[in-house]
Chains A and B, each alone.
Chain A
Amino acid sequence: MKEPVAMAYVNLYGVLGCIPQLCRLDEDCRHILSGLKKPVALCFEVKGGPCRTFRFTREGCEITEGDEGCNAKMRFFSPEKFNAFIDGGAPGMPVKHPVRTIVFLLKVFAKLAERLTYYLRPTPEQLSDRAFFEKNTLLTLYTAAGAISALANTDSISRISAGNTPDGEISVGIRDTVSVTILVKDHVFATVDRVSAAPRAVMEFADIDLANGLFRGEVSTINELCKGRIRLAGMISMIDNVNRILDRVSVYLA
């Protein structure tokens, strides 16, 4: 069962959470942002749920927690309303610089969201294009990594896994390609887009093809572990718990 509050966190920290990476990886997104006349800091505030600000410049996007410094803001009166918006429903209520907010939402953000959907919901034909395949894999990794922390902090089942995870940094990545870090402190998770200097646990896929196959459920994790193509090291109890949460991620993102 999906819990609306947890879903809202998955949407904001997982799905929309990979917009900075999307803006880095996708030429079209870079082009969209290059047309910005001045920086826009768009906040999504969900009543009874998350609140984050996406700071767009011509160079890209960064996300900060809360609404500090935002110059455009959308308020959603419930997690359900925000989740409906992500599924293509009505936007929330613009509560700060309404005109700027609506214009940015329609003219810029909607286009970025389209590109995100393009990468995260691919057709088999699109995946046969190697460049697309690689971007799809990386963005799926970022989305899943963000969703892991979102669920660890909010989903009632994932909270059990988080409650059994000791403190430290968990490195999740693809060898020689990408690595994200999940920070765990007092059973609260945060995903950050950086390489961990001192991970307490490591889960590393041998290459992009393996990662994609795993994300799409086309290859067996155990088989690949047995082939030595998934490297695990360190506090494996941390990895075990992350994998249990990952199982919940697939429920939420299905």
Chain B
Amino acid sequence: MSRFPVYSHEKSRAWFDRALKVIPSGVYGHLGPSEGLFLPIENWPLISSRAEGTYFWDMDGNRYLDFMCAYGPNVLGYNDPDVDAAALEQLRRGNCTTAPSYKMVECAELLVDTVASADWAFFMKNGTDATTFSVMLARAHTRKKKIFFLRGYYHGNDQWAMKADYPGILPEEVANNVIVPWFDLEAMERAYDEAKGDVAALIAQPYDHGNFYDNRCASKEYWAQVRKFCDEKGMLLIIDDVRTGFRLDLAGSDHYYGFKADLICFCKALANGYNMSAVCGREAYRATASSLSFTGSYWMSAEPFAACIACIEKMKKLDTPRLFREKGTRLTDGLVAAAKEYGFDLRVSGEPALFYLRIADDDSLMLHQEWVAECVARGLFLTSHHNHFLNAAVTDEDIRLAVDIAADAFSVVRERHPKD
């Protein structure tokens, strides 16, 4: 018998139906039912009314303990008082102005001081902007065409970062993309030879955190080899730290894995939900960065810079990477134990700060989807296909609640699928 009541979503659904009339897909992208894999949709909150700390509430007033953190931006807790105060104060002083605010300079200085490989910072709005800028820079700097990607990659939504079989993408737009497997330097060497050395960069996430499969952490040795390879070939090493940035190491995930990226892209955890992204780079690439034609109407708005400064300072104060490792480990240990109690083999992979879950009892993920749906229906927001995120507002009590709801959901799924 379930101990946690199953939520209903009449009002959220009504709002979603309104959205469908005026917005393609209602909610498009990863926050929506299609890419977000709301299976079945009835179990999911579709539209929220408010958020605080590690919780958000839907339009029906249901509360969700949220381990997706808006897919990353919520790093300190929703509505963090320090970050919000800094942002609001900056709004009063000026936001989108003809001469950019001094906050931009302060923010760049802070990033250069914080990120180990950074000699400069360049600002934009989204992760895609950051990766696109980096790839342009690599091509401009090396005068070479091809870009290496590691299999299972995701580097945003611009055409160059997608695949030829995606709607609206021309084969020509991705003709210079070369996909190589993770953890295979020989394959990279072969691909380089096949490309006749016409390779500008490798763009990679710090470890293999793709969707639908167990995530694979990298090693310092692997990255040392990759760094050496790029140096020998004259390729730039671009680290896409959009998802992982500041959750593994405040000095950058390259620092965490013991190497220096040439360019490193940040976005999600940069400003606790305020809209900005950044590329940090090494001195050798400063002049090329200056030469690029790359800007946007809101890219130098001051409010997010103020939020970013407050966010980074607070992350330093709290030592959030340590916090996330500890909390992620405690939470996932609890989930695994709850699964075991009901006879399920729950696998945890990836870094604890961005843990990926999978029930391994079947290889179709159907059982896993069922369990996730029962968790969400009871107020524990997880996803079935993507890594999760921690934020600094998660308390021990939240972890206990998460494990309790998870156990309850396991009991429901077990009742539906009794063991032979």
Q: Is there an interface contact between A199 and B364, defined as CB atoms closer than 8 Å?
A: yes
Contact of B363 among A200, A225, A233, A241 (CB under 8 A): A200
Interface of A (DSSP majority class): helix
Contact of B171 among A157, A234, A241 (CB under 8 A): A157
Give Cα A222 to B34, complex, Å.
7
B164, B363, B364: most-surrounded residue (chain A CB, <10 A): B364
Q: Is there an interface contact between A235 and B33, defined as CB atoms closer than 8 Å?
A: no
Q: Is there an interface contact between A168 and B364, defined as CB atoms closer than 8 Å?
A: yes
By beta carbon, the residue of chain A nearest B171 is A157
Give Cα A241 to B55, complex, Å.
34
Q: Does B14 contact A (CB under 8 A)?
A: no
Q: Does A131 contact B (CB under 8 A)?
A: no
* Binary contact readout B393-412 vs A (1 if CB under 8 angstroms, 0 otherwise): 00000000000000000000
Q: Is there an interface contact between B165 and A158, defined as CB atoms closer than 8 Å?
A: yes
Contact status of A228 and B164, CB under 8 A, knowing A223-B20, A234-B365 = no
Q: Does A247 contact B (CB under 8 A)?
A: yes
* Binary contact readout A218-236 vs B (1 if CB under 8 angstroms, 0 otherwise): 0000110110100111111
Q: Is there an interface contact between B212 and A235, defined as CB atoms closer than 8 Å?
A: yes
Give Cα A160 to B163, complex, Å.
8
Q: Is there an interface contact between A168 and B363, defined as CB atoms closer than 8 Å?
A: yes
Give Cα A231 to B38, complex, Å.
11
* Binary contact readout B344-371 vs A (1 if CB under 8 angstroms, 0 otherwise): 0000000000000000000111100100
* Binary contact readout B287-318 vs A (1 if CB under 8 angstroms, 0 otherwise): 00000000000000000000000000000000
Interface of B (DSSP majority class): loop
Q: Does A201 contact B (CB under 8 A)?
A: yes
Q: Is there an interface contact between B385 and A226, defined as CB atoms closer than 8 Å?
A: no
* Binary contact readout B136-147 vs A (1 if CB under 8 angstroms, 0 otherwise): 000000000000
Contact of A226 among B26, B37, B167, B363 (CB under 8 A): B26
Q: Is there an interface contact between A236 and B37, defined as CB atoms closer than 8 Å?
A: yes
Give Cα A223 to B33, complex, Å.
10
Q: Is there an interface contact between A200 and B364, defined as CB atoms closer than 8 Å?
A: yes
In the complex, what residues of B have CB within 8 A of residue A232's CB?
Answer: 37, 39
Q: Among residues 187 to 245 in chain A, which have CB atoms less than 8 Å away from a CB atom of chain B?
A: 198-202, 222-223, 225-226, 228, 231-237, 241, 244-245
Give Cα A228 to B33, complex, Å.
10
Q: Does B41 contact A (CB under 8 A)?
A: yes
**4 tightest A-B contacts by CB?**
A234-B364, A160-B165, A200-B364, A161-B165
